[in-house]
């Protein structure tokens, strides 16, 4: 009998839960539907994910982001691998700042005393030459603490540390349902048989509406596409140490770009 069973242990949230529980001495089992973890079907697939501090979406994220930064740093240190690179982030808007992502980011950074600088195009291009191609009327806010994570590397590191702290992991075990008996034991049904635990953590990501049909009306799953491109002529202007990622709103909407990375 396990203290805790984590469903979706091959993903971002599940692998992290597995690691932290095992590290705290909890007898924990991770169940993952896919044959291996990480894998190319999850939200974590790909080379990079961004973590910023001037989070414009909602102020309630700010303390969570501070804690997340700290935990990613700890994971990096414990794993001895490069999982996170601090590149900084440029928020850029063309023309007027009114109601732009840059204006919101400046507001959040000011309100929460986050380190930031407001830059004119010429200054930005001098500091970061890759930005010289931006429009002349672009406005910039630079936030130095933003970083880029290697999402698959983070999962690998969390799972390695979880297993060495005593966690168990079963891949290829798709959870189909569970039942709680009179003693409060959770019986988890999977494609590889049944497992018993005292508590259950669900971290199935985009599969949550399938696993918990009661939530279907609240959740809609969307496909998000991301691409990585080689830099032409190998220009160093786009290397991670001199090209902060950017969040830009221009006349076509909001987009994000990240610097060139070595992928491990």
Ligand X SMILES: Cc1cc2nc3c(=O)[nH]c(=O)nc-3n(C[C@H](O)[C@H](O)[C@H](O)COP(=O)(O)OP(=O)(O)OC[C@H]3O[C@@H](n4cnc5c(N)ncnc54)[C@H](O)[C@@H]3O)c2cc1C
Kindly list the residues in this chain that would bind ligand X in the complex (CB under 6 A): 7-8, 10-14, 31-34, 42-44, 49-51, 151, 174-175, 203-207, 211, 224, 226
In the bound complex, what is the minimum distance in angstroms from residue 262's beta carbon to ligand X? 18
247: left (phi over 0), alpha (psi -120 to 50) or beta: beta
Q: How far apart are the first and last CA of the chain?
A: 36
Taking a C-beta distance cutoff of 8 angstroms, is the pair 256, 247 a contact? yes
Closer residue to ligand X (CB): 54 or 125 = 54
In the bound complex, what is the minimum distance in angstroms from residue 198's beta carbon to ligand X? 19
Burial annotation 187-211 (CB, 10 A radius, 16+ → b, else e)? ebebeeeebebeebbbbbbbbbbeb
In the bound complex, what is the minimum distance in angstroms from residue 32's beta carbon to ligand X? 5
Closer residue to ligand X (CB): 10 or 130 = 10
Closer residue to ligand X (CB): 33 or 162 = 33
In the bound complex, what is the minimum distance in angstroms from residue 33's beta carbon to ligand X? 4
Closer residue to ligand X (CB): 47 or 121 = 47
Taking a C-beta distance cutoff of 8 angstroms, is the pair 75, 15 a contact? no
CA distance 120 to 170: 53
Closer residue to ligand X (CB): 203 or 240 = 203
In the bound complex, what is the minimum distance in angstroms from residue 83's beta carbon to ligand X? 14
CA distance 160 to 263: 19
Beta bridge partners of 2: 197
Closer residue to ligand X (CB): 133 or 225 = 225
Could you give the C-alpha distances from 214 to 6, 10, 145, 177, 208, in angstroms and in order?
20, 24, 39, 13, 10
In the bound complex, what is the minimum distance in angstroms from residue 234's beta carbon to ligand X? 25
Helix (H, G, I), strand (E, B), or coil: what is residue 57? coil
């Amino acid at each position: 009998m396990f203290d805790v069973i984590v469903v979706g242990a091959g993903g971002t949230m599940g692998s992290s839960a597995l690691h932290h529980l095992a590290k705290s001495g909890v007898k924990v089992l991770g169940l993952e539907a896919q044959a291996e973890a990480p894998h190319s079907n999850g939200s974590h697939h790909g080379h990079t994910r961004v973590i910023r501090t001037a989070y414009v979406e909602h102020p309630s994220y700010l303390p969570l982001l501070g804690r997340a930064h700290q935990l990613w740093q700890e994971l990096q240190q414990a794993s001895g691998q490069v999982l996170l690179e601090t590149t900084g982030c440029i928020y850029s808007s063309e023309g007027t700042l009114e109601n732009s992502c840059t204006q919101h980011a400046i507001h959040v950074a000011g309100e929460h005393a986050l380190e930031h600088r407001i830059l004119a195009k010429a200054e930005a291009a001098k500091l970061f030459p890759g930005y010289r191609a931006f429009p002349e009327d672009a406005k910039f806010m630079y936030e130095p603490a933003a970083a880029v994570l290697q999402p698959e590397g983070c999962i690998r590191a969390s799972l390695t540390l979880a297993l060495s702290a005593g966690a168990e992991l079963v891949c290829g075990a798709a959870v189909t349902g569970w039942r709680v008996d009179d003693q409060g034991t959770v019986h988890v049904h999977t494609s590889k048989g049944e497992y018993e635990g005292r508590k259950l953590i669900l971290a199935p990501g985009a599969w949550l509406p399938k696993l918990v049909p009661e939530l279907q009306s609240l959740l809609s799953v969307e496909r998000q596409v991301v691409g990585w491109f080689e830099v032409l002529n190998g220009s160093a202007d786009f290397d991670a140490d001199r090209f902060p990622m950017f969040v830009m709103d221009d006349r076509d909407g909001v987009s994000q770009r990240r610097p060139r990375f070595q992928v491990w």
